Chain A
């Protein structure tokens, strides 16, 4: 599970490409067309060139993370397993919005929280049959169908990215980034052939995407 998680964790971000701070600034300054909310509120179109929004990466702190992950997965931040994990990692939570201060222990803390919330996702969403084609009462080869994975990516897309908007990866990109790895693991002989393996597979895919929750643009 842990190895799978690590493998899956890094894949999607490579595919999506980098939109770090300097690049965001450049792109933001090149925005043309209708005046944005930010521009409108500061005095009108004559200030557009001067006051075009510039966005910066920021790191969510623990409270912000808990609420965000709760919203996305539907798992309560006040109940186990999340509350239990939170108690064990809260000392390592991000506290500074600057990416410069985001260190290894915080990354581990975020990943643990994501995994805990994703256990809730499996319970609240998957086990209730809300994603067709995924049946975690069956071993992976049977319970995690190709169609089920496609539905899973669509569900991630809706929950994590709140649907289509500019600059956000679409379902196809999410699929392209993790689909191959997931299927390899599913089909590999070494994968646990029990129903628990299906649950772990879905949970890992979920936490792969959810672990990126702390990073936002402001």
Chain B
């Protein structure tokens, strides 16, 4: 029944594979905005394509609200929850991505800047719009439920001023990020999902047991179940990278009662040094120092920046990620998947994603430009 339905529906709706300019315009608009164009926009886009300027046609398409409110929103929402779902509520993380895309900001800077996008209070004074509150998500949920124009409502502001956190790092200290990745646990989740979100690799894929383990926390047993080989052959592979990075968030926690970030400058969150009996000789976290233990070994393939192999705090960690070659590739791959509805695993797709990553880097990591270029180039298959 399922296949039957799909075939029948496809026959009725699917656009032709022989892409004339009009068809290309419709296809591009759908890719970029989640919806077909109006007749007026379609005519304009078709003309631009006929004139040999498909990029201008793409730039016209992204003026549609659907670009920010559907395509970009879904693109970033998956980054804000462990289930990787895009059908969750708008939050400060994605509002910041959306605002930054609208304003043509470098995406990589969002991992270290003192930045957040909130609703412009001047435009909505006297309405029911809740004020920004670092202890809840109500403002963003209101914006979404009322269908307010995200391209119009959001304004940039300093995250430190509205959140009360002195040391911010954009998306990495956003409330949504903290709720998903800093609540409970040991803040290792923040590292794992940073790798997933920005390097498109889970720790299992990055596991390297050849690296030294001097900063692995005291809560990690050296011989789980009495077997040291388990640690040496498995646990160490991830912890030897993860635990070296996690110090970046040492002064941060997510207070599940207050529903906000708990920032304690100079004081390491208690969870960093819990369960010390598991390995009394393990690393005791005393500050927010982090270092990259994966610049050597198999993970050198990510192309880490030469001049940023360690630091203190989240902002420098975010800077390192944004300057990593693998970051550009990951963002290009995620965008390709979003726009072209393909995992991008074929050889021709990998080649194209590599080219898009280079374009992304040379465009000062402009995500809007990347989306448009990707929409022009969806070529799926072997």
Give how many A residues have a beta carbon under 8 Å from the other chain's beta carbons.
Answer: 67
Most buried by B among A18, A160, A215: A215
Closest chain A CB from B372 CB (angstroms): 10
Name the A residues within 8 Å of B30 (CB-CB).
68, 216
Kindly state the separation between the CA atoms of A18 and B6 in the bound complex, as whole angstroms.
10
Q: 1/0 contact trace for A54-72 toward B, CB 8 Å?
A: 1111101111100110111
Contact check, A104 vs B35: say whether CB atoms are below 8 A apart. Answer: no
Contact check, A217 vs B27: say whether CB atoms are below 8 A apart. Answer: yes
Of all chain B residues, the one with the shortest Cβ separation from A211 is: B9
Of all chain A residues, the one with the shortest Cβ separation from B85 is: A95
Contact check, A55 vs B17: say whether CB atoms are below 8 A apart. Answer: yes
- A218-B342 CB under 8 A given contacts A41-B377, A95-B87, A165-B22: yes
Q: 1/0 contact trace for B60-103 toward A, CB 8 Å?
A: 00000010001001100000000001110000000000000000
Is B34 positioned at the interface, with any CB of A under 8 Å from its CB? Answer: yes
Contact check, A68 vs B24: say whether CB atoms are below 8 A apart. Answer: no
Give how many B residues have a beta carbon under 8 Å from the other chain's beta carbons.
Answer: 63
Name the A residues within 8 Å of B18 (CB-CB).
27-28, 31, 166-167
Kindly state the separation between the CA atoms of A211 and B379 in the bound complex, as whole angstroms.
27
Is B37 positioned at the interface, with any CB of A under 8 Å from its CB? Answer: yes
Return the contact of A41 from the options B146, B373, B380 (Cβ within 8 A): B373
Closest chain B CB from A29 CB (angstroms): 9
Kindly state the separation between the CA atoms of A160 and B39 in the bound complex, as whole angstroms.
11
Contact check, A14 vs B87: say whether CB atoms are below 8 A apart. Answer: no
Contact check, A167 vs B2: say whether CB atoms are below 8 A apart. Answer: no
Of all chain B residues, the one with the shortest Cβ separation from A56 is: B380
Q: Interface SS of chain B: helix, strand, loop or mixed?
A: helix
Total residue contacts A-B, CB cutoff 8 A: 192
Chain B residues numbered 325-382 whose CB sits less than 8 Å from any CB in chain A:
340-342, 348, 352, 355, 373, 376-381
Is A162 positioned at the interface, with any CB of B under 8 Å from its CB? Answer: yes
Is A190 positioned at the interface, with any CB of B under 8 Å from its CB? Answer: no
Contact check, B10 vs A57: say whether CB atoms are below 8 A apart. Answer: yes
Return the contact of A53 from the options B7, B13, B74, B379 (Cβ within 8 A): B379
- A212-B380 CB under 8 A given contacts A56-B342, A165-B23, A218-B342: no
Contact check, B7 vs A217: say whether CB atoms are below 8 A apart. Answer: no
Kindly state the separation between the CA atoms of A102 and B378 in the bound complex, as whole angstroms.
22
Contact check, B74 vs A72: say whether CB atoms are below 8 A apart. Answer: no
Contact check, B24 vs A37: say whether CB atoms are below 8 A apart. Answer: yes
Chain B residues numbered 174-212 whose CB sits less than 8 Å from any CB in chain A:
none
Kindly state the separation between the CA atoms of A15 and B370 in the bound complex, as whole angstroms.
39
Contact check, B23 vs A218: say whether CB atoms are below 8 A apart. Answer: no
Contact check, B11 vs A19: say whether CB atoms are below 8 A apart. Answer: yes
Return the contact of A67 from the options B8, B34, B85, B341 (Cβ within 8 A): B34
Is A193 positioned at the interface, with any CB of B under 8 Å from its CB? Answer: no
Kindly state the separation between the CA atoms of A160 and B344 in the bound complex, as whole angstroms.
29
Is B121 positioned at the interface, with any CB of A under 8 Å from its CB? Answer: no
Contact check, A16 vs B42: say whether CB atoms are below 8 A apart. Answer: no
- A13-B377 CB under 8 A given contacts A71-B36, A95-B87: no
Contact check, A18 vs B13: say whether CB atoms are below 8 A apart. Answer: no
Contact check, B17 vs A162: say whether CB atoms are below 8 A apart. Answer: no
Is B14 positioned at the interface, with any CB of A under 8 Å from its CB? Answer: yes
Chain B residues numbered 28-56 whose CB sits less than 8 Å from any CB in chain A:
28, 30-31, 33-39, 42, 49, 52, 54-55
Closest chain B CB from A209 CB (angstroms): 7
Contact check, B35 vs A67: say whether CB atoms are below 8 A apart. Answer: yes
Is A24 positioned at the interface, with any CB of B under 8 Å from its CB? Answer: yes
Contact check, B9 vs A56: say whether CB atoms are below 8 A apart. Answer: no
Kindly state the separation between the CA atoms of A125 and B342 in the bound complex, as whole angstroms.
37
Kindly state the separation between the CA atoms of A108 and B237 in the bound complex, as whole angstroms.
46
Contact check, A13 vs B9: say whether CB atoms are below 8 A apart. Answer: yes
Q: List 14 A-B contacts (CB under 8 A).
A: A16-B11, A16-B12, A25-B381, A38-B378, A40-B54, A41-B373, A53-B19, A54-B380, A95-B86, A166-B16, A168-B15, A216-B14, A216-B15, A218-B380
Extra A-B contacts (5), CB below 8 Å, given A20-B11, A166-B20: A53-B19, A78-B145, A104-B1, A218-B27, A218-B340
Report, nearest first, the 9 A-B pairs whose CB atoms are least far apart: A167-B16, A13-B8, A54-B381, A212-B13, A97-B341, A58-B341, A64-B34, A67-B35, A212-B9
